[in-house]
Copies of this chain bind each other. A is one copy, B any other.
């Protein structure tokens, strides 16, 4: 059985030594170990190991050894379960569905939820439940409540916002803290908010980008996981930029969730540490 041990907290001398000692005593083989200590003295470590031992006993020894204030989690290495939220655009969803169909996603897609039914036909090709939950004739709290009830069916590990074009309220977000990944169609923090390609066109930028980030209470301000860019020139209209940008969006989102689903992303304040 493979496990992933995730630790973060204030650095102490001897942490690596102590942890590797415990794993050694439990006859675990370290497959990979990555650590990082921030200039301010915060310690992060991801250790992937395998062996016959009892995870409970390893946990117990770690718990005794590790100083107070140091967080640690021990995850069995397995696929995450996710629900995808979309609105009308297909490019990110299509990318995830194709990867999923060929077992390349490191996750199981339990369902897709949308406030429109435009993408129902695409989702149905892949045999995945599609929930059309319109925002029309519902207040925002009512709409979010309806989505939350649907999510309760699946109890996903993560929500992936694959071009879900509505702002989530803090009330919604606190149900899935650090478990919601969004793709934003700009190189954040440039062009926050609506119509970023229109804004990019009007500013006359020569490069456009996309940003995958965790969602927290402030729209477009959660910790950034991955970003990428493409060059444009004056010949690009705002529509052309959006067309080109979609390729970037889907690859950035794919890259970000692969990191998240493999337990490689730590959140520290508003930054991510990726090991």
Contact = CB atoms under 8 A, between A and B. Distances in A.
Contact of A227 (B39, B206, B223, B243): B206
Given A188-B205, A227-B207, A37 B32 contact: yes
A24 B20 CA distance: 13
B191 A189 contact: yes
Interface string A1-19: 0000000000001101100
A271 to B, nearest CB: 3
Contacts of A35: 33
A33 B19 CA distance: 15
A204 B272 contact: yes
A264 B94 CA distance: 28
Contact of A17 (B17, B207, B224, B228): B17
Interface string A246-262: 01000100100000000
Contacts of A126: 125
Interface string A41-75: 00000000000000000000000000000000000
Contacts of A149: none
Interface stretch (A161-169, A177-185, A232-240): A232-240
Copies in the complex: 4
The secondary-structure label for the interface of chain A is mixed
Contact of A209 (B191, B207, B237): B207
Contacts of A251: 247, 251
A11 B54 CA distance: 24
A201 to B, nearest CB: 8
A30 interface: yes
Contacts of A128: none
A203 B224 contact: yes
Interface string A21-33: 1001000011111
A223 B203 CA distance: 8
Interface of A: 13-14, 16-17, 20-21, 24, 29-33, 35-39, 90-91, 94-95, 98, 101-102, 104, 122, 125-126, 187-191, 202-207, 209, 223-229, 233-235, 237, 243, 247, 251, 254, 270-274
